[in-house]
Amino acid sequence: MSTRTRHLVVVGNGMAGARLVEEVAARDTERRWQTTVVGDEPTEAYNRVLLSGVLAGTHREDDLALAPPGAWEGSTVRVVTGTRVARVHRSTRTVHLADGSHLPYDRLVLATGSAPVLPPLPGLLRHDPTDPDRGASLHPQATAFRTLDDCRRLVAATATARRAVVVGGGLLGLEAARGLAARGLSVEVVQMPDRLMDGQLDGPAATMLRRRLAGLGITAYLGTRATQVLTGHGTDRLVGVRLADGHVLECDLLVFAVGVRPSTRLAREARLTTARGVVVDRTLTSPDDPAVSAVGDCAEVLDPDGGSTVGGLVQPAWEQAAALATTLTAAPDDPPTTWQPRGSVTRLKAGGIDLASMGEVRPAPEDSDGDLEVLAWTDPSRGVYAKAVLRGGRVVGGILLGDLGSVGALTLAFDRGSPVPPDRRHLLFGSGPAGPAGAGGAAGTAGDAASLPDDATVCHCNAVDAGAVRAAAAAGARDVAAVAACTRATTGCGSCAGTVRALLAALPPALPPALPPAPGPVPAPAGPTVAPAPPAQHEEISA
């Protein structure tokens, strides 16, 4: 086998690109790859999922770093920040940067992510007449909520802004709205569908969520859209937004969170096949060029049945990175590792709101063969709603709002896909044989955690089960930070920290003292990390 050093170029230093670099470095024990990752943001790679926490004031910017400073010193990895990739020449296998330099590659990975969708509102965009070559920019009192710079602008704006309108009532829009409300602003949300979080909730849950938001000072306008940005007479200062029905919402801050679009420019200009995203097969390789791959938000993975899967979530991006890293560092004769998409578990990270949604939440009875069961329980006085959807005696979806005490039982049953006992009550009320309430991200108690089976998923973002946490603790990791350093648990959205803490509290005290956090990126486990029957993914901000 040749030991010639090969050049890997990763375009994009977001959560997908950065994870791929870590996974390759951890597996490349023979140092066969010289890796260069290029990012157009001026900062090192950071956890985009936690931006809503920075906006709400519950996290600091330092909490977002995916690797400590100097993590790659002395390694075969080079990180280039604040630099845009101008074009890719596949014929010469060269990546050309905007600063005039170029990078040769043996393997190219596009991890270019996605860009926020901005509605074509009159008055939203600004053009600088003194610089005709410069593209349009947003009104200075308007911003998307996508990057660390966006988050910084929003935090700075809250010092003087009093009323905000958030366009988009999905997961990210509601987290932005809650963060702004927590900083004292009056917040209104505009959503074109007739329910909040339309992709994850049914009607009753969306109605209850709307009431809960109203109690937190956030008003939602549904079934309508913003049509015009309004400015003051004789000034360019934002004063409001006009809706489709003519209603005007006064505001001095406008936030857009209406979705994202995969960034495919480089692929298109390099004459790679693109559709919604950069088209790749299940090995994450372009059908046009075996030297080119794509992972994360920008990748559109073809399904065997002729469909395709587009990214947008953190966990699948990290799974794709692990699968591709395994392929890149395998022996030449080994078959490539394939990536398999999974079901989703969504957690809304907004102070004062407990919400989890997974899989199929609005089943169509006509699509069943008489094997459909829907269990639901509502407590309007406490703002609690619980729903479980079963097909063939197996959990295929569910919603929990207002009380996540049973999220462990429901997510464990959803993850495993195994038949549940005839008594289904534990799925809604958190007791019974399917598992304790502490699983799947709920804080739980030490008693709950003690009975949690080893194969129960604790951290959905990183596919870490309870057994891995216990093994880390047995090796000396006796606090959350040490477990995170060993397993990556809690380093995604962070919602599983309570479960990890409960697992540690349930362990006997006669164990070695806590290990210090490992320096540099967390080592990846040896071998493929994509299991044939994996647990559900945790839906978050795109990677």
Per-residue pLDDT tens for 375-390?
A: 999 998 888 999 999 9
Better pLDDT: 224 or 466: 224
pLDDT of 117 strictly over 80:
yes
Percent of the chain, pLDDT > 90?
59
What's the CA angle centered on 263, arms 257 and 265, to 5 degrees? 140
Q: Among the residues of 295-438, which ranges form H helices?
A: 314-328, 407-416, 425-429
Q: Among the residues of 142-284, which ranges form H helices?
A: 148-157, 171-182, 203-215, 265-269
pLDDT of 528 strictly over 80:
no
pLDDT of 534 strictly over 60:
no
Q: Are 199 and 231 in contact (CB under 8 A)?
A: no
pLDDT of 520 strictly over 60:
no
Domain 6-115+261-328 has CATH 3.50.50.60: yes
pLDDT bucket at 305, cuts 50 / 70 / 90: confident
What's the CA angle centered on 305, arms 301 and 309, to 5 degrees? 25
Least confident residue range of 33-47, 100-114, 379-393, 414-428: 414-428
Res 182: pLDDT:
94
Res 17: pLDDT:
97
Least confident residue range of 199-213, 412-426, 500-514: 500-514
Domain segments of the chain as ranges:
6-115+261-328, 125-258, 436-519
Q: Which CATH class is domain 125-258?
A: alpha beta
Distances (CA, A) of 443 to 57, 330, 403, 513: 21, 39, 11, 24
Nearest to 524 by CA among 479, 470, 468, 457: 468
pLDDT bucket at 431, cuts 50 / 70 / 90: low
Mean pLDDT of 397-414: 85
Better pLDDT: 527 or 49: 49
At residue 96, the 3 state secondary structure works out as strand
Res 365: pLDDT:
75
Res 452: pLDDT:
75
Distances (CA, A) of 181 to 140, 211, 382, 401: 20, 15, 22, 20
Res 189: pLDDT:
98
Mean pLDDT of 23-51: 95
Res 3: pLDDT:
63
The DSSP bridge partners found for residue 166 are: 189, 255
pLDDT of 111 strictly over 90:
yes
Residue 327 amino acid letter = T
Asked if the domains at 6-115+261-328 and 125-258 fall in one CATH topology, the answer is yes
Nearest to 503 by CA among 412, 414, 440: 440
Mean pLDDT of 113-130: 84
Residue 397 CB burial class (10 angstroms; 0-12, 13-18, ≥19): buried
Mean pLDDT of 85-98: 97
pLDDT of 505 strictly over 60:
yes
Distances (CA, A) of 56 to 52, 151, 185, 188, 352: 6, 10, 11, 16, 12
